[in-house]
Amino acid sequence: MCRHRLVNVRRFVTIVGLVAATVLNAQVALASTERADALVHSTLQLDVDARRGSTVFAQHCARCHGNAAVGDAAKGIPALAGQRKSYLVKQLADFLERDRAGAAMHGVVSQQAIAEPQVWADVANFLSNLTPQPAPATGDGGQLQLGEAIFRDQCASCHADDGRGDDDGFVPSLRNQHYPYLVQQIRSISRWHRANVESDLVLYLDSLSADETLAVADYLSRLSTPVRDRVVLQPDGTLKDAGDQTQADCKQSVPCTKPD
């Protein structure tokens, strides 16, 4: 066989190998996402033990997130106090399944004391009932009008006008959060570091200029409400967050980040 044909055969084999690897990686990622979603839904059915959640958080999480779970702006560590329970459970499952990047959290959730749905339910319930960060770090305030315009036009339909998230709890609260962390996460999502985020949202965040990213993060870091979301009794006897206002349907061009 001539040299030219050998080169072509090698190129063909290389291309076939790359295609096969891409397909395999996609299948693995899909299976991982499905496992994470199954874990989330089963976890949310469990009864919670608030005392156990407090103990586990103090032993395994407070060193980074702080005793009151208000985070650390200088280190890019998020405030978790007051965050939606369902969202917190979802993130723990995604870290465990590597659907969300984060070496530090991968190490935490892989510990035997943490890698258990019951623990997730207890810790998430404990965190969701804490008082939110009262004074998050903010930006320079130079482009707040731009940040507000972007948020209200593209984000508020899912995250609510006050940034509290949705009533089901899978769309996160964005208020009472540190500016550096918000900037970091917008950039992280735009770089496909979260397999649990819909592609349209990734592409939209990637389309933001540097100034627009800083503006919307600065605006969000200043969102804070003194009144906690109301809890109402449902006809079947269960409790549900009613929210401070009516939640709009998620019909804007940027989708909500709910699991299937």
Final residue belonging to a domain, choices 111, 130, 149: 130
Indicate if 143 and 170 belong to the same structural domain.
yes
Count up the domains in the chain and report the number. 2
Residue of 27, 37, 58, 26 whose CA lies nearest to 260: 37
Q: What was the pLDDT predicted at 109?
A: 93
Final residue belonging to a domain, choices 130, 160, 180: 130
Indicate if 205 and 90 belong to the same structural domain.
no
Q: What was the pLDDT predicted at 251?
A: 39
CATH number assigned to the domain comprising residue 179: 1.10.760.10
Indicate if 119 and 145 belong to the same structural domain.
no
99: buried, middle or exposed (CB in 10 Å: 19+, 13-18, 0-12)?
Answer: buried
Q: What was the pLDDT predicted at 1?
A: 56
Q: What was the pLDDT predicted at 226?
A: 47
Residue of 213, 227, 104 whose CA lies nearest to 175: 227
Residue 24 CB neighbours (<10 A): 10
Q: What was the pLDDT predicted at 25?
A: 40
Q: What was the pLDDT predicted at 23?
A: 42
Residues shown for the chain: 260
At 83, list the tokens: 């965050």
pTM as predicted: 0.77
Digitized pLDDT (tens) for each residue of the chain, 260 residues in all: 555 555 555 555 555 554 444 344 434 444 567 888 899 999 999 999 989 999 999 999 999 999 999 999 999 999 999 999 999 999 999 999 998 989 999 999 999 899 999 999 999 999 999 999 999 999 999 999 999 999 999 999 999 989 999 878 899 999 999 999 999 999 999 999 888 788 999 999 999 999 999 999 999 999 986 444 445 555 665 655 554 433 334 434 444 544 44
Q: What was the pLDDT predicted at 166?
A: 87
Q: What was the pLDDT predicted at 49?
A: 94
Indicate if 41 and 118 belong to the same structural domain.
yes
Report how far apart, in Å, the C-alpha atoms of 106 and of each of 54, 84, 95, 111, 114 are: 21, 21, 6, 9, 11
| Full residue range of the structural domain in which residue 4 is found | 1-130
Give the Cα separation of 59 and 67 in Å (integer): 10
Indicate if 104 and 160 belong to the same structural domain.
no
